[in-house]
Amino acid sequence: MLLRICLVDAASLVPQFSPTYEFDFSWRHRTRPLNPIYVEDNEVNVEVMLGLRPQIELTACSNGQEAVAVVQRVTPDLVLVDRQLPDIDGLDLLERLKSDPRLLGIPMVVVSADAIPGSLAETLAADATDYLTKPLTVDALLGLVDRLFDEVAEQR
């Protein structure tokens, strides 16, 4: 099975958005594993994410209601949200999660197959930390995750 992953050239779609990454990977030396939450109803996409970094304890949620219940119990280091979920639009879920004071400062990334410039602009206007388009490239995904975890590690 061939897995092809690509990051949209967001800078050409939204000029103020620049997907340039530099990392020091300091988060990898933490004693507590990182715990991102991935809200995705496609099991194949979840399986791909689960195998990316062994030091990351990914919690997968298949819908928005499950994600809201999970963040009541666990404060994630990162939230990845599919734009098209079975029970709620990803941007509506993003808004709901951002209203939780415990999640203040937690990066929230929207992942979507929709690469239309208007969707990207709408997502960034909804205060998403970033926007990745499917199919994803492993390098772009890991680069973004590493950068965001570095930022989270600096804040804590």
Q: Which domains does the chain have, with CATH numbers?
A: 32-155 (3.40.50.2300)
Q: List the pLDDT tens digit at each of the 156 positions of the chain.
A: 223 333 333 444 444 443 433 333 444 545 566 789 999 999 988 887 877 777 778 899 999 999 999 999 999 989 999 999 999 999 999 999 999 999 998 999 999 888 788 888 888 888 899 988 888 787 888 888 888 888 877 776
- What is the predicted pLDDT for the residue at 2? 27
Whole-prediction pTM: 0.75
| CA 19 – CA 87 distance, rounded (Å) | 30
Instruction: For the beta carbon of residue 81, count every other beta carbon within 10 angstroms.
Output: 27
CA angle 11, 12, 13 (to 5 degrees): 90
- Label the pairing between strands 108-112 and 130-133: parallel
